[in-house]
Structure 1
């Protein structure tokens, strides 16, 4: 069975003074009033993203964020703790200085990748060389010695730094189609070049390192103005840096034309050994059914190209704000309300998988879990995740949500169980009614997801406020519901590849010792 609450065709803009459709339930009215008249979202976002910054697993900033969250909850009278679930390679980012020094001087926009080796306080100056276009892996091995003492450019050169929407707006149709065809050909040629090395991305980096390269230079463009994806280095001794499309293209063209540019690189970082990793868990104890749980969920960690604002500080502050509001207006819930701020989601849902594995006594008694993770936008989609009767209880819980919020949400029942993507999937795999509060895009995929531009200024606080109100009401309704939620699963459709019914996602164990070979 499928149903839809509907999608509103026009945007509804509102401020903290908006008069929401009046709800009859005084708790719901107080949730809305507290959220709109005493919002803490901007303060929380500022402290987390500007003050603490990015939260890469294994860094001091990640531990600082966990301690900040515990302290914040305690100031609101909410019990909270940091719960260790594993350990990770400890690393701390330092300053990156990257300059072209020949044929002219220019400071380059770039940064070292996560877990990149340090230059140990030294500045390395060397020529650049483009990854060799050998006919096969044997020839590539013969080419490898040519990288000795040089910075190796390992990414395809982008012919245009304009995203497609910009071309579509201004180019002729013929010019746009020509550009796309040329780009497709360039991408195919580069993939072929990489394939012929006979190496994976990781083994290529190690091969270049072994051959004596001074460092590795990449540019992982995110198909938007000024944005690159920033992930992790694959080297163990030499620095790996990512440059903006513009500066990478400059070096690539100069190198290809035989000018042999030189760059100077200084990247400071610290190796901290293996460090403990945590989840932050906070709790408002239930009064009537304390051994049954309603959970709020958001991953706490981020990549560290920007400050992790929309991935996932927005989900984090949504849950913090919802908990703050609930403690103030609903301090004695029927069921225990838990929130999980998960570590190392970005490396494979590790924190939430560890919680599921470590707390079967909680997992078996979870009434529902609500997770938010995909950017700053207001929630517009809610799937039943394959639970046959989810339409019943979710429909009832959504009923008192203000029309201004509810009318924008499209529901899909029974839906399909999520196998990954974010932390709700860890719980779905264990049979828990866990739901993703999926939000409006705001160009998330190109401009903020894992990019160098994922910063405070990209947060749309009206939308996040919507989400905090929605979450708090759903949690309140789930806690008050006299019935325990059904975990009955729907019959999944036939898998077109196997010809057999699709299978429910399997519960998976976390990586508890990460960042090491």
Structure 2
């Protein structure tokens, strides 16, 4: 009886010492990030110093090299792993001036991969797509665009976001505005439809007819925010104008005032460029061939500096690695971080990693991905893994309550089929989880817009996310066994069973068609 009692006491002491050691690591994680956060320095170096990270650009390569060097200063080995090639392009200046009927510099920028203007720019009249009876009439009109700039986006009926109307307008005025706007958009869409051309084909038809350039405006439904994507022209520039300036040119053109602009959009093609993922590692001591992984895409569109998509995810994961290297330098399992290239064109970097490293993928304990903005984590789904509640619940219970108290969870949830890089791993059967954050008006104001810049970062929220992710990684490393990968049959929106998302191969040669 005495021996059994002593054995029981030994177990209690052992478990108590282990729990105390775990608490000390967690306390150190919290203290390090609270007292010595490097988030602002990382954000400044990446976003202000390097800038946007469009795949195939010099800034993307510079960012990859910067990350490897930064990890080295923390004693963390990292490398750039090539997985494909992309069309190389280097953005230059965009300067747009209205010359007639009066002089004004306009707010706008060329779209990604846009061809350049002639040196010094080119001056021409601005015209809109005409209202014609049929496709034949449109083809008869086409030659008239020679030497002119053509506006192809729907002009906005109002420059005020709906929330601004809701705050100040009468109910009747708000409803009338929405009805008038819908009718206006329908009429413009009819102009497009009559051409018989799609959104890719129309710009090419106009440049083939001799247009000097294409003018677009993709309003993001927020004050001052426009989305900046890619050009479809091959030889003349495509630019996006602010809602306000686009509307002014449209009204002038429609009223017969014949506005004239000088457009100087400079850029250059740089040939085929290699594309990379940056992978960093803290080697495990007891189970080095099992992995806990951090994940965030490194690339961005280049309307702004890619601050919240996905600079915040990037600096968050770098900071988690820095903190863990300092307070938990000898993890039981190997900790990896993937900074993925070309997520914006179809999760290409992460899909390539899954395809190229099956030996790692089959031994990933858990993966944590962050992408959608600067806010604190607000939603966690079990991604369809039957037992995810059991282990994620335990790991999250170690995170300070003031960080997790407002997080919504869904278990087991449904697997994500796309949207961000965790989906590449979910498709391969890896317990991969999106640390989905609060909006902070993400889709209106920063997602792929000209306003996605350093000043939009909410560092307190990102700091909370660092603490949460670091603790989750620590707990996943300490977990005695590999967690269950048992999956449930996904349920569709109609309530009927569907299938698990299929693995997809990446585009390894991009933008060169």
- TM range, normalised to the smaller chain? over 0.9
2:161 matched to 1:163?
A: yes
2:376 matched to 1:389?
A: no
Give the secondary-structure state (helix, strand or coil) at the position aligned to 1:50.
Answer: helix
Larger CA deviation: 157-166 vs 381-390: 157-166
Return the offset for 1:500. 5.8
Task: Give ranges in structure 2 of 5+ residues lacking alignment.
Answer: 1-19
Structure 1 partner of 2:510: 514
Equivalents in 1 of 2:193, 2:501: separation in Å? Answer: 32
- Equivalent residues of 1:495, 1:502 under 8 A apart: no
- RMSD, matched Cα: 1.2
Structure 1 partner of 2:111: 113
Deviations 1:330-358 (A, max 9, x none): 00001100000000000000000000000
Within a 5 Å distance, the mapping from 1:226-245 to structure 2 comes to: 226-245=224-243
Equivalents in 1 of 2:166, 2:465: separation in Å? Answer: 33
Equivalents in 2 of 1:56, 1:45: separation in Å? Answer: 17
Give the secondary-structure state (helix, strand or coil) at the position aligned to 1:507.
Answer: coil
Return the offset for 1:495. 6.4
2:170 matched to 1:172?
A: yes
- Equivalent residues of 2:414, 2:491 under 8 A apart: no
Return the offset for 1:193. 2.0
Equivalents in 2 of 1:427, 1:419: separation in Å? Answer: 10
- Equivalent residues of 1:363, 1:432 under 8 A apart: yes
Return the offset for 1:491. 2.2
Deviations 1:108-132 (A, max 9, x none): 0001110000114231000011012
Tell me which structure has the larger Cα radius of gyration. 2
Equivalents in 2 of 1:466, 1:158: separation in Å? Answer: 39
Equivalents in 2 of 1:442, 1:327: separation in Å? Answer: 31
- Equivalent residues of 1:297, 1:319 under 8 A apart: yes
- Equivalent residues of 1:23, 1:400 under 8 A apart: no
More helix by share: 2
Deviations 1:466-511 (A, max 9, x none): 0000110000000110020111111222564xx9620111100000
Within a 5 Å distance, the mapping from 1:115-264 to structure 2 comes to: 115-264=113-262
Deviations 1:140-193 (A, max 9, x none): 222211211110000111121111111111111111111111111122222222
Return the offset for 1:228. 0.2
1:314 to 289, 312, 315: 312
Equivalents in 2 of 1:483, 1:508: separation in Å? Answer: 29
1:266 to 264, 267, 276: 264
Structure 1 partner of 2:421: 423
Equivalents in 1 of 2:496, 2:246: separation in Å? Answer: 48
2:389 matched to 1:357?
A: no
- Equivalent residues of 1:375, 1:441 under 8 A apart: yes
Return the offset for 1:138. 2.6
1:468 to 461, 466, 489: 466
Return the offset for 1:221. 0.4
Give the secondary-structure state (helix, strand or coil) at the position aligned to 1:177.
Answer: helix
Q: What TM-score comes out, normalization by structure 1 length?
A: 0.94
- Equivalent residues of 1:87, 1:276 under 8 A apart: yes
Return the offset for 1:197. 1.4
Give the secondary-structure state (helix, strand or coil) at the position aligned to 1:201.
Answer: coil
Task: Give ranges in structure 1 of 5+ residues lacking alignment.
Answer: 1-21
Relative to 1, partners in 2 of residues 1:251 and 1:494: Cα closer, same or farther, differing over 3 Å? closer
Give the secondary-structure state (helix, strand or coil) at the position aligned to 1:340.
Answer: strand
Within a 5 Å distance, the mapping from 1:401-480 to structure 2 comes to: 401-480=399-478
Equivalents in 1 of 2:21, 2:289: separation in Å? Answer: 30
Q: How many residues align?
A: 494
Structure 2 partner of 1:345: 343
Structure 2 partner of 1:19: none
- Equivalent residues of 2:52, 2:305 under 8 A apart: yes
- Equivalent residues of 2:382, 2:413 under 8 A apart: yes
Structure 2 partner of 1:294: 292
- Equivalent residues of 1:371, 1:437 under 8 A apart: yes
Return the offset for 1:284. 0.3
Equivalents in 1 of 2:393, 2:221: separation in Å? Answer: 38
2:341 matched to 1:335?
A: no
Structure 1 partner of 2:364: 366
Return the offset for 1:240. 0.3
- Equivalent residues of 1:23, 1:29 under 8 A apart: no
- Equivalent residues of 2:489, 2:499 under 8 A apart: no
Structure 1 partner of 2:8: none
Q: What TM-score comes out, normalization by structure 2 length?
A: 0.95
- Equivalent residues of 1:297, 1:424 under 8 A apart: yes
